[in-house]
Amino acid sequence: MAEITYESVEPLLKAAEEHPDHIRCTFACPVTGGEVPSLGALVKGVELEDVCPGAEEGLLGSLQSALSGLFSSVLGGQSVQVTRAPDAQHPAFTDSERKAGIVQAFRAVANQFVWDPRTERWISAEGAGELLTDFDRLLKVAPIASEEDRKIAARMLVEVARADGQVTPTEWGFLTSFVPSAHGAVDTYMDAPPLTPEELDATDRGAARDTMLMLAWALAHVDHHLDEEETEQLLGYATGLKIPAERARELQTYARHFLLEQALQRAYPKGKLKKGPRKDALAHGKRMGLSDEEVAAFEERFKRRWGVED
């Protein structure tokens, strides 16, 4: 999932209806024509620059932006409660504030879309077909549907983020961008005791547990190679969720490949190679623990799937 910007979202916007505290949007896939409704918050003072990444951010910022949109969508972090009737008095929102609401509306349904690096546009997951990664497919078939399970998933992600004992202001901002306020503030989760095996085992049975662990692997790998203690933490989640060790490692591979996919999308904008971002992408693959051979093989598959050129 690429960075979500207003410029990338606007072509999909079929309709946008402004209300006193939210904007009701309909996004349409340019390939299938399928429509996806969503809501975005309208807040005075929250402008486009507050919800979109900077244009020149590096690989780490790009990956964090991609995960932020993904996690918000999966966990319901951008859901909006309509509190006033449509005919209530409207505050005067600026164009930038309205665009921020549209971006947040797209973030809420972003896991239903994938980024096509050849045409540099969002297309629906339904229209992507064989272009989907294993990571994308699992998100599609095994969403985290239960509100309680989403809370547990959010706590897992906060625990992974604080695993090294410190959270920088940048990391804090990253966490607050996707942890739903309805599930508790980030600082509350920071002070909470570690999740117990009993809490993990209380989640709904089924493949949604795989999704929860896969998201945790993705966050853990976004900026560095895991040390032994961090790996044990993730495998401990697998034990609590009753996920066999072999499957847990397979989910780790899904997460690594998803992040490498995002990095390679930066390296092949419009299907053309950019050497600097490609070097960053391959280096990140190695930092995640993938071998040179695995990284090279994945890049070849990426180029074949998307029809990109060297």
Write the CA distances from 74 to 61, 65, 78, 152, 303, integer angstroms.
20, 14, 10, 13, 28
pLDDT digits (tens, 9 = 90+) for 195-205: 999 999 999 99
pLDDT of res. 76: 65
Question: Does the pLDDT of residue 57 top 60, yes or no?
Answer: no
- 3-state class (DSSP) for residue 183: helix
CATH class of the region 141-310: mainly alpha
pLDDT of res. 40: 86
Instruction: Name the phi and psi angles at 220, rounded to 5.
Output: -65, -30
Q: Averaged over 267-274, what is the pLDDT?
A: 85
Which residue would you say has higher pLDDT here, 119 or 13?
13
Query: Structural domain boundaries of the chain?
Result: 6-132, 141-310
pLDDT digits (tens, 9 = 90+) for 4-36: 889 999 999 999 999 888 899 999 999 889 999
Write the CA distances from 266 to 148, 157, 230, 292, integer angstroms.
35, 25, 28, 19
Asked if 178 and 66 count as a contact pair (C-beta separation under 8 A), the reply is no
Distance separating alpha carbons of residues 174 and 161, to the nearest angstrom: 10
Distance separating alpha carbons of residues 308 and 310, to the nearest angstrom: 7
Question: Does the pLDDT of residue 79 top 70, yes or no?
Answer: no
pLDDT of res. 112: 83
Asked if 198 and 242 count as a contact pair (C-beta separation under 8 A), the reply is no
